[in-house]
Structure 1
Amino acid sequence: MVKKGKYASVIVLSLVLLLVTALAGCSTKESGTAATQTPSAAPSSEAPVKQGDVDNASGGLPAKYEPAIKLNTVMANYSYTKFGAGDTTDNNVWTRYIKDKYGIEIHSLWDVPFAQYEQKVNLMIASGDMPDFLGVTPSQFKQLSDAGELEDLTDIYNKYASDTIKEVIASAGAEVLESAQVKGRLMAIPWTGVAKEGVPILWIRKDWYEKFDLQPPKSMSDVLKIAELFATKDPDGNNKNDTFGFGLNKELGDNSLVGFLNGYHAYRDIWIKDAQGNLVFSDIQPEMKTALTQLQTLYKNGWIDKEFGVKDPQKVEENIGSGKIGMFFGNMGSAASPLQQLTPNNEWLPFAVPSVDDQEAKLQIPLNIYNYYWVVKKGTANPEAIFPLMQTWLDLFYNNTSDELYKQYNYNSEADVASWMNAPMKIYKTKRATNHLAEMKVLNSESKDTSGLTPEQRDNFAGIQKYLAGDKKFWNVYMQDGPEGTGKIAVDYLEKDLYMPTQFTGTPTPAMVQKRANLDKLRDQTYLKIIQGASPDEFDKFVEQWKKLGGDEITKEVNEWLKSK
């Protein structure tokens, strides 16, 4: 999805980046919604250096290839316009930039929508006709690695990847780079994702918050008290008992439930380490029983909708839009979507997920990749050439401060051309904290000079200024990027490392493939029954069943994988 705007570009996030996150995130310029990502330096020529040398001025990247080298790849797209007039997959602003600056000619064997990409790669693998580099799924990565088809990237990563590239990959989480290793050797580069931006945020309606003269919730006990107030004290003032304190829907894997669970140090659908260092499944831990019991209290008291078990997220959004819900766990972008659309005249306040005790809540994340790993075919002449491609992406997409270059290389709103999709390699990074810090530095300065900001940051800053000047249409920008917005929370999460990443980063084990679907169904049925009033002891029965019906077998395989690492 792309919505038109001055600076609109997209990272479409499937998973959550696997959890959530997704990232990908869509940014628009609707009603003050902030823009998206960015570019950097204009094309520049460098004196050619012997191929294979390190260009120290570029932080370890290979020097410009002279004569130019050629690399084959394959591409995926999001089925909307990405070419300017006369441009093609092999001849566009990105390929011309890369050839001019680095002496690398990119040729794409094909370009298909992402929905077709995995199957197309499977056919390519079966045919044995692989390009020099491409993105592959975890299962495809394992298949190619087991078959000895991949170039070992260990030494060239250490030598040729710039500090900037290494920073982005490291910031995704140590487990991310580890997941690309086979027997201690780096066999791929993770297509890093934005899972850290998809973690839960507690959102509370500002007018209801002020009506009861509330303070920021410091504990999950405070969350329960607020839920009671919103459900029983007529926050909308219509003299009817028609409001709920907390929003929840039947999709038990989304942030509306996960945020609540994480506040009780319970985690859904990830693998964590026990006191002995073994991997255990989060869904069967005792903290989960505690959290479900508290949700049962909310349900029995009518503080959540008694019909939540049959309502999808869209139905709950309708309740938010009609003013029936005053609090829910969303994400860092919830102010823009869905809240700006649902309640344009009502502001919402963001808060970090509070904890049930004196230990800060940690927010669960899946393996922080965007579904894919970048791999190089074994025997490729210049495997180190992938790093200038990654650097180009970071320079032009994230770090640029020029509006003109943004329009040229990322998104041209007049022509509705999303050129950023032509980048032959991409790695994503968390940017909300970075944006917040940059924007607050300018906001707190005397000059208010925005020339050092990226186009996205300038757009955010303009929205913040308009809100402060009284234009309430920009409340969503302010609540995300302003002094007390989700950007500040993102900084706190990052600085304190308040994340609980899954510790299993391998491909599905044989028992998972055979038995996981039935175990997940059993889990969801049990969770729903307990929330809706069944004895909490049903959880103990579920744990016993889970183990007998394949859970113990899966756990054994997961720990065998851990030992092999």
Structure 2
Amino acid sequence: MNKHNKKLLPSALLAGIMSLTAVLSGCGNGDTADSGNKEASKQVAEGSDTSNGMKDGKYDPPITISYLRPWGPDVKFKSGEDQDNNVHTKWAHDKFGIDLKNQWISPSTNNAFETKLRLSLATNEEMPDIISYRGDLNLVRDLIDSGKFIDAGELFDKYASQTWKDAVNEDPSVWYPFMQDGKRIGIPILDYAYNGDPVMWIREDWMKKLNLPAPKTLADLEKVMDAFTNQDPDGNGKKDTYGLAIGFKNWINTWMSDAGWVFGAFGTMPNQWNKTADGKLEYGTVTAGAKQALGTLQSWMSKGYLPTQAGLYDEAKAAEDFTAGKAGIVVGPHWMPAWPLEDVKKNNKDAQYKAYPIPTGPDGKAGRHGTANVNGAVLINKDMKHPEAFFTYQNYLFDQFANPSVGGEFENGLAEGYDWVMLDGKPVTDAAHTGGYAPEKYTLTFDGARIPSLMMQTLSKLADGAEPTTPFEKKIKSSSPQSMLEAAKIVMSQKDTVLPQMFTGAPTPTMQTSNDILQKMEKDIVSQIIYSKVSLDDFDKFVAKWKSSGGDKITEEVNEWYQSVSGGAK
């Protein structure tokens, strides 16, 4: 129905945490099966299963895992190393007797990887043992539909370590995009939870100058925006500032400089599918709450609180008005002090900014978009000779790298001389000394292994003044300014306000035929109402037309899908 159904984006695939006991138990039955799964996982992790060719934790003779994954321009190799021969492939060989070999190599830019893989599918070429991919969900569905890949959920239940299982179980809906007929074909590649959830960044020096209290509600916020627009907060004697930096060239609910939280104050989230009180899914832009939110934005635009170019601004362009000192408020993730907010002080050395919670609406509601715990999937070939080998490899990264222990192999990083070096007897990780190499980007899953809850829990803990004790905590502390820590704590304090994207499946049949016209209708009405080109009451006409032009059928299809993965999966 929207952009979220075409791409696996961090803000698009987070679904509500719910029970999927039937799905996650796979073929297991009771305590006996669970005990057997743990033992199998232990055998793979420790290498005691000699029946598969492992001796003392290694394959002897070594085996090869052929794989495909896109290689991005951010992946940097040392001279003499490449995708097949580098510090990580050497580690996998030495540690496990596993040789990692690309079936072919293609960049991630300009859809080169996707084009080549689709051609391979179309010509029925042999697939590699593993495909690891994050990007176009339609391509993932094509791979699943090819029938060339095994029910990876059964393998996961049998071989995954407890650390890895616990990480996935933080949000079992991460399986949803990669399911077919109740089977978990793709193993979700996990990402950090809440990483893109927004807070409200406000020019604190303007707040102090105008003696404004912290805004807790939309009504409070309007007073702040009015002051920022009409009371010359920058003191230059000109009426050249405004309240809120937003841009909706792409969507009204996006990853930065968005206005999705305004809709959240009225109990909905636009251009995504939300769960209703009766357990059904509804499209957020066609709800009564959306009409109220658009009316609010229309009022703000008419009063000069928003940029007149908002409809032409993308996310980054809108944020530039904040960093340039034109706007006093911008909404976005906790990490914005790293980029782009550092430019605020480049433009004005006396400028200050501070994170605030998302405000509540007239009924006391607050709502924000969420961040997915998943950013891709791993597919395992039905003909892979040693499918357990992938778990040998990935279990170790989850158990040893995702949250490394003091004195452990990855205490300082993945590889000395790459992401860390010894300097004056101490480990150093900054790029000025390491050269900026990131060997976790050489791994099969792009980032090594991530436990979704770990990042924000760590940031929140450090925000309260706790001393970092673990290697992960020390790494985060060294790279996170206090403003970022405090913003992360605000994110976690409002975690119950998340309105997650609940539809994470492939485009439904009616979406495929009707998406373009419905999306155009949606964007048009949002823009026209905000700019007062049409009456707010024209929203009702839009909703009726949306429903009759395929929206009702899509709603039916989306709910059929949701039932199949959340209630019908066995």
Shorter-normalised TM-score: what interval? 0.7 to 0.9
One-letter identity of the residue aligned with 1:488: K
Question: Do the aligned partners of residues 52 and 559 (structure 1) sit closer, same or farther apart at CA in structure 2, a change above 3 Å counting?
Answer: farther
Which one of the candidate residues 183, 194, 197 is aligned to 2:195?
Answer: 197
Say which SS state the counterpart of residue 244 (structure 2) adopts. Answer: coil
* Cα distance, 1:444–1:152 mapped onto 2, change above 3 Å: closer
Q: Contact 2:247/2:315 (CA < 8 Å) preserved in 1?
A: yes
- Whether contact under 8 Å (1:270, 1:282) holds in the other structure is yes
Alignment of 1:384-463 (within 5 A): 384-394=388-398, 395-396=400-401, 399=404, 400-402=410-412, 405=415, 407-408=417-418, 413=432, 414-426=434-446, 427-428=449-450, 429=452, 431-437=454-460, 439-440=462-463, 443-445=465-467, 452-453=471-472, 456-460=475-479
Q: What are the residue-to-residue correspondences of 1:32-181 with 2, within 5 Å?
A: 48-51=47-50, 64-80=58-74, 82-115=76-109, 116-126=112-122, 127-136=124-133, 137-171=136-170, 173-181=171-179
* Contact 2:268–2:274 (Cα < 8 Å) also in 1: no
Tell me the CA shift for residue 458 of structure 1. 4.2
Report whether the alignment pairs 1:16 with 2:12.
no
Displacement, 1:201?
A: 1.3
Mapped partners of 1:63, 1:512: distance in 2? 49
TM-aligned CA deviation for residue 390 of structure 1: 2.5
Distance 1:92 1:305, change over 3 A: closer
Contact 2:216/2:360 (CA < 8 Å) preserved in 1? yes
Which shows bigger deviation, 215-224 or 542-551? 215-224
The equivalent of 1:369 in structure 2 is 374
C-alpha distance in structure 1 between counterparts of 2:79 and 2:463, whole Å: 39
- For the 8 Å contact 2:63–2:97, the answer to whether it is kept is yes
Instruction: Pick closer, same or farther for the CA change 1:505–1:121 going to 2, 3 Å.
Output: same
Instruction: Give 1:32's aligned residue.
Output: none
**1:189-217 CA-partner distances (Å, limit 9, x unpaired):** 01233462112211100101222333332
Q: Closer, same or farther in 2 for the Cα pair 1:415/1:328, shift >3 Å? A: closer
Identity between Structure 1 and Structure 2 (%): 27
Distance apart, 1:553 and its partner CA: 2.0
Matched residues in 1 for 2:319 and 2:46: separation?
57
Q: Is the 8 A contact 1:199 1:364 kept in 2?
A: yes
1:121 deviation in Å? 1.7
Aligned-residue offset at 1:228 = 1.4
The 10-residue stretch of structure 1 (328-337 or 174-183) with the greater mean CA deviation from structure 2? 174-183
**1:407–1:551 Cα change, 3 Å:** farther
C-alpha separation in 2, matches of 1:556 and 1:174: 23
Q: Residue 186 of structure 2 aligns with which residue?
A: 188
Q: Are 1:160 and 1:384, in contact at CA under 8 Å, matched by a contact in 2?
A: yes
Deviation at 1:225, TM superposition (A): 1.8
1:351 deviates by 1.5
Gaps of 5+ in 2: 1-6, 15-44, 405-409, 421-428, 566-570
Structure 1 counterpart of 2:278, from 276, 279, 302: 276
Instruction: Pick closer, same or farther for the CA change 1:178–1:315 going to 2, 3 Å.
Output: closer
Aligned to 1:562: 562
The equivalent residue for 2:528 is 529
User: What one-letter code is carried by the residue in structure 2 that aligns with 1:217?
Assistant: P
What are the Cα deviations for residues 134-188 of structure 1, in whole angstroms up to 9, with x where unaligned? 12453333333334221122332122212222233233x3321233332222211
**Letter in structure 2 aligned against 1:152:** D
Task: State how far apart, in whole Å, the 1-side matches of 2:51 and 2:496 are.
Answer: 37
Pair 92,342 (structure 1): closer, same or farther in 2 beyond 3 Å: same
Aligned to 1:486: 487
Listed as ranges, the matches of 1:473-512 within 5 Å are 477-481=481-485, 485-493=486-494, 496-512=495-511
TM-score (norm 1): 0.79
Q: 1:339 to 1:54 in 2, by over 3 A?
A: farther
CA 1:270/1:194 → structure 2, altered by over 3 Å: closer, same or farther?
farther
Q: 1:354 to 1:317 in 2, by over 3 A?
A: closer
The amino acid across from 2:548 in the alignment is K
Q: Give the equivalent residue in structure 2 for 1:28.
A: none
- SS, match of residue 89 in structure 2: helix
The separation in 1 between residues aligned to 2:436 and 2:466, in whole angstroms, is 35
Change (3 A) 1:294 1:380: same
Q: 1 CA distance for matches of 2:455 and 2:536?
A: 39
- Provide the aligned C-alpha RMSD in A: 3.0
Q: Secondary structure at the match of 1:17?
A: coil
- Paired letter, 1:421: K
| TM-score, reference length from structure 2 | 0.79
Post-superposition CA distance 1:325-353 (Å, at most 9, x none): 11121222222211102433222111221
Match of 2:25 in 1: none
**Corresponding letter in the other structure for 1:221:** A
Equivalent position SS for 2:70: strand
**Worse overlay, 101-110 or 353-362:** 353-362
User: Residues 62-113 of structure 1, C-alpha deviation per residue, up to 9 Å, x if partnerless?
Assistant: 9543443221112322225532343332332112222222332211112221
In 1: Cα distance, 2:460 partner to 2:274 partner = 32
Which digits, 9 at most, give the CA deviation of each residue in 1:357-411, with x for residues without a partner? 56552322375432x3211011312222222333444444663431684653578
For residues 513-541 of structure 1, give each alpha carbon's deviation from its aligned partner in whole angstroms, at most 9, with x where no partner exists.
12112111111111111112232111111
CA deviation profile, 1:249-272 (whole Å, cap 9, x unmatched): 242343422232223322121112
Contact 1:208–1:235 (CA under 8 A) maintained in structure 2: yes
CA contact (8 A) 2:88 2:442 kept: yes
